[in-house]
């Protein structure tokens, strides 16, 4: 597999039409970047795309109607609510209404055409200068509007770990299908544990 052209960590990963998009993150100097790169598993090649308007890391990322939504995140020592959408077909970014509560390391989940932004960290003026939160805000792409919903359960950090595992499974499915069964079994075990913990 060809290495990603721009070395970085904390990158957002999304898949549209079988191609993998690596967006934003932190460079070797721990500075946020806006780099957007596309990987094609069929050709094992990378292509540079239009940079994300706001350099950042730790943002929520999800795909809706073949567009990539990057919401929230960290910029230096602060958190933002920026809501920016990438269209891989036109290779363009569009800025939408910002999330009401600036935060980073949150999760994004789509239900009935709405994007639910759950948990994460928000700024605090007391060391370590952030608080983990159970805030649950919902974005409606059709109306470019936000609503506040019932806060998440305390186990929202477990949910984030499951989402990270789901991303790993997605990568493996594209690059090494034979490992998928093992990872799926691991994820199933964690989901059962979560269900027993929260009573769902």
CATH level 3 topology of 12-152:
Neuraminidase (2.120.10)
**Is 141 in contact with 113 (CB distance < 8 Å)?**
yes
Regarding predicted confidence, which is higher, 81 or 169? 81
- pLDDT value of position 121: 85
What pLDDT band is residue 130 in, cutting at 50, 70 and 90?
low
What are 11's two structure tokens?
């990158």
- Residues of 50-59 as b/e, b for ≥16 C-beta within 10 angstroms? ebbebbbbbb
Domain boundaries, the chain: 12-152, 154-200
Q: What is the pTM of this model?
A: 0.77
- The span from the CA of 143 to the CA of 105, in Å, is 25
**Is 9 in contact with 29 (CB distance < 8 Å)?**
no
What do you get for the CA distance between the two ends of the chain, in Å?
A: 40
Helix (H) / strand (E) element for 158: namely helix 156-175
pLDDT digits (tens, 9 = 90+) for 67-114: 999 999 999 888 999 999 999 999 999 999 999 999 999 999 999 999
The number of beta carbons lying within 10 Å of the beta carbon of residue 35 is 19
Does the structure show a pLDDT above 60 at 117? yes
- Average pLDDT, whole number, for the chain? 81
What are 146's two structure tokens?
């936000």
- Residues of 133-159 as b/e, b for ≥16 C-beta within 10 angstroms? bebbbbbebeeeebeeeeebbebbebb
Averaged over 42-68, what is the pLDDT? 97
């Amino acid at each position: 597999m060809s290495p990603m052209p721009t070395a970085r960590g904390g990158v957002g990963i999304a898949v549209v039409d079988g191609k993998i998009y690596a967006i934003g993150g932190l460079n070797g100097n721990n500075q946020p970047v806006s780099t957007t790169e596309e990987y094609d598993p069929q050709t094992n090649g990378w292509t540079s795309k239009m940079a994300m308007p706001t350099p950042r890391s730790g943002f929520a990322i999800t795909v809706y109607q073949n567009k990539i939504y990057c919401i929230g995140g960290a910029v230096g020592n602060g958190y933002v609510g920026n809501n920016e959408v990438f269209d891989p077909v036109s290779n363009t970014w569009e800025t939408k209404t910002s999330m009401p509560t600036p935060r980073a390391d949150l999760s994004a989940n789509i239900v009935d055409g709405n994007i639910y932004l759950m948990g994460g960290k928000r700024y605090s003026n007391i060391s370590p200068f952030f608080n983990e939160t159970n805030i649950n805000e919902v974005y409606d792409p059709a109306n470019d509007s936000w609503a506040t919903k019932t806060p998440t359960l305390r186990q929202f950090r477990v949910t984030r770990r499951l989402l990270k595992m789901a991303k790993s499974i997605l990568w493996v499915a594209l690059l090494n299908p034979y490992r998928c069964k093992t990872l799926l079994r691991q994820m199933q075990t964690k989901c059962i544990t979560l269900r027993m913990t929260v009573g769902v």
